[in-house]
Amino acid sequence: MTAAEVDVIPDSDSDVAEVVDITVDSEDEVAEVNLSASPPLSFHGYRRGRELGQGGSSQVFVCSKAGSQVGFAAKAVNLRRLQMSPDVEREWKKLCREVDIWKKLPVHANVVQLVDSFQEGSWFLMVLELVGGGDLFTVLTSRSTSRFLDREAAFVGNQLVQGLAFLHSQGVVHRDLKLENVLVASQRRAYSSGPLLYSVKITDFGLSRVLDPTASDAQSTVGTHPYCAPEVLGDGSHSFSADVWCLGVLLFALLSGHFPFNAMPGEQADLDRIIDSCSVVEGAKAVLMALLQLQPALRSSLSDLSSHQWFQEEEWETMKPLKRHRTLSNSDVGGNPPSISNMEAIPPVNGQLAAHKVAASPVLEEVDTSQHSPVDSPFPCSPFPCESPMPCPSPLPGALDAEGVASPGVWTPFAVEVAVKLSDVQSPNDLQSDHMQVHMVVPDRYAGFILGKNGTRIQKTALKSGCKVWMTSRNGSNDRRVIMIGSYKQCKVAQQLVHEQLSTAMQVEWQDAQADILVFVRSEAAGMVTGKQGFVLNQIRKQSGAQVQLLRDEVQSTRPCIISGTLQSILKAQKHIFELVRAVPIVTGPTAVGTGSSHGAK
């Protein structure tokens, strides 16, 4: 698990309590909770922000650096906890190998970049570029239909071919390419109502190896079970062609919504029939058959794949530029992990980690798979022959899914706002990533009080807060909305003023009055707010006390987010969300994706 993957499954309830509270306005007010068990708050010019998750001996959080407009993700490895692992030597070698590979990789558009690494006390920290769109597994399973359109899958596949070709040119075999290890950096539509095109990056080199092309294959059984190539499951032989097989399984999952099989087919003809029976275009079938060959020598090369017609049917570079693209400042990557002798000198951690079952594909780490029985996966598999795509299970009536979206027909505080009017939503300003847009619901009968005579009161609200403030026009019997655009602090003041006025009109104490707010999250940062399996969003709910729902549908390149509760709880939730979104900065201008044409040395 790497920082960029943002694995957000906690090991215990006590771990969740270690989340840093960032709802205060001043960075000086951020309190360190249980310092002895938490990564350093400040380290080598970086400052720790909100926790994104934990796993094993590491945890992940957002961090910032003074003078940089770019946020980062940091993976903090607890060396004390690592020392307590059953096989400390193996875990230590994995960490050293991961850091060494990442440090030696030049910059590439489709590979997550390591920015810094160093030891700080009993923690080893890896600072990575922050990729805020979530992983492909989360993106795929949160869509209304759990499958990509043909052009969507081809666009992602083209980038993965480029990314893998780059890694192989550096002698690196990934050995664990899967949906969870591909992160979404940005997204766009080629045209109105067209396919949704995701810009992606490969991450997680925890199981990777540097493989000498002239040497024999690496002999170890590693990877994630549904993706493992037949030779890996057989004798543990792991070459570059095993990554090609993983790519085939991944593309099959994107196109069909399920894995190709439960058990490895014994004959190539059986596997070909599985592919041929799927409802995909002939070009996609040809690519899948070229990738999913039981014999490694018969699999297509990445260079041949890059020129395949299925990937070239659209001239991606001539399409509209990505609506947003993150940039990463160049930085020399820092130190290596400390020597194992130094690590062993660290006193052990008291307590025992609670076991936590995660609904994810099992990872095989250099073990004999002959002792493993077939495993269940959260992602459906297809028996032979290929079944029709399986949709995501619907939540129970009244329940919220992983992103906090209510079941169809369930009343929500913002039921009338689900279909947000495009005319009321301002197009995001790419040059003001620290700005936010807030809509506050005002019952129509109190609209006149908020406006004041000839609009004088709402004008004073705008002047006092420093942000743009206006009210939507009357539309039948629907409630009105006060729209505010400005910095977080400006919008906070405006909300406080409007809420106080509304409480006065309703003759209730403002502290007790409930409010409904709509904020807009930049689409490429939505994965940061949600987190894997909704972990981050659930933590925001718990820490703020507000009801928070992140809607799936986009509005003007943003995802509407509904927040309901007392004003105090709403502002806390907004602060959490704002800090996460602000950590994913934006720049304007077109960016070629997946070409891999430039990757200079660090």
The arrangement of secondary structure in 136-325+361-371, i.e. its CATH architecture, is Orthogonal Bundle (1.10)
* 454 CB-contact burial (10 Å; exposed 0-12 / middle 13-18 / buried 19+): exposed
| 47-68 mean pLDDT | 84
Angle at 591 between CA 113 and CA 323, to 5 degrees: 105
Q: Shortest CA distance to 482 belongs to which of 464, 467, 495?
A: 495
How does pLDDT run across 429-483, given as a tens digit for each residue? 444 567 889 999 999 889 999 999 999 999 999 999 999 999 988 776 678 899 9
Tokens of 306: 């890059």
pLDDT band at 10 (very low <50, low <70, confident <90, very high): very low
Within the chain, all domains assigned CATH 3.30.200.20 are found at: 13-130+333-344
pTM to 2 decimals?
A: 0.71
Which pLDDT score is estimated for 229? 84
User: Helix or strand or coil: residue 306?
Assistant: helix
Share of residues in the chain with pLDDT > 70 (%): 68
Question: What string of DSSP letters covers 132-160?
Answer: TT-BHHHHHHTSSSSS--HHHHHHHHHHH
| 404-426 mean pLDDT | 40
Within the chain, all domains assigned CATH 3.30.310.210 are found at: 415-582
| 520-530 mean pLDDT | 87
How does pLDDT run across 11-32, given as a tens digit for each residue? 333 333 333 333 333 333 333 4
Identify any residues that bridge with 487 across adjacent strands, giving them in sequence order.
435
| 140-149 mean pLDDT | 85
Which pLDDT score is estimated for 341? 46
415-582: CATH, from 3.20.20.70, 3.40.50.300, 3.90.950.20, 3.30.310.210: 3.30.310.210
Q: Which amino acid is at 34?
A: N
Identify any residues that bridge with 6 across adjacent strands, giving them in sequence order.
none
CB 119 within 8 A of CB 343: no
Radius of gyration of the chain (CA): 25
Q: What backbone phi and psi angles, to 5 degrees, belong to 254?
A: -65, -40
Which pLDDT score is estimated for 385? 37
Q: Report which DSSP code applies to 587.
A: B
What CA–CA distance (Å, rounded) separates 302 from 286?
14
The arrangement of secondary structure in 13-130+333-344, i.e. its CATH architecture, is 2-Layer Sandwich (3.30)
How does pLDDT run across 238-273, given as a tens digit for each residue? 789 999 999 999 999 999 999 998 888 889 999 999
215-224, 309-318, 369-378: least confident range: 369-378
Tokens of 353: 């980690």
More confident position, 508 or 288: 288
Tokens of 506: 């309703």
Share of residues in the chain with pLDDT > 90 (%): 39
CB 78 within 8 A of CB 181: no
How does pLDDT run across 346-359, given as a tens digit for each residue? 443 333 323 332 33
What CA–CA distance (Å, rounded) separates 26 from 311?
49
Which pLDDT score is estimated for 290? 94
Which pLDDT score is estimated for 187? 85
H or E stretch covering 541 = helix 535-544
Beta-carbon count within 10 A of 341 CB = 7
**Annotated binding residue 492:** no
Whether residue 385 is preceded by a cis peptide bond, meaning omega within 30 degrees of 0, is yes
pLDDT band at 582 (very low <50, low <70, confident <90, very high): confident
Within the chain, all domains assigned CATH 1.10.510.10 are found at: 136-325+361-371
pLDDT band at 591 (very low <50, low <70, confident <90, very high): very low
Which pLDDT score is estimated for 347? 40
Q: Which amino acid is at 331?
A: S
Tokens of 270: 């059986």
CB 59 within 8 A of CB 51: yes
Identify any residues that bridge with 47 across adjacent strands, giving them in sequence order.
42, 64
Which pLDDT score is estimated for 327? 43
Number of H helices, E strands in the chain: 18, 20
What CA–CA distance (Å, rounded) separates 517 from 510?
15
Beta-carbon count within 10 A of 577 CB = 26
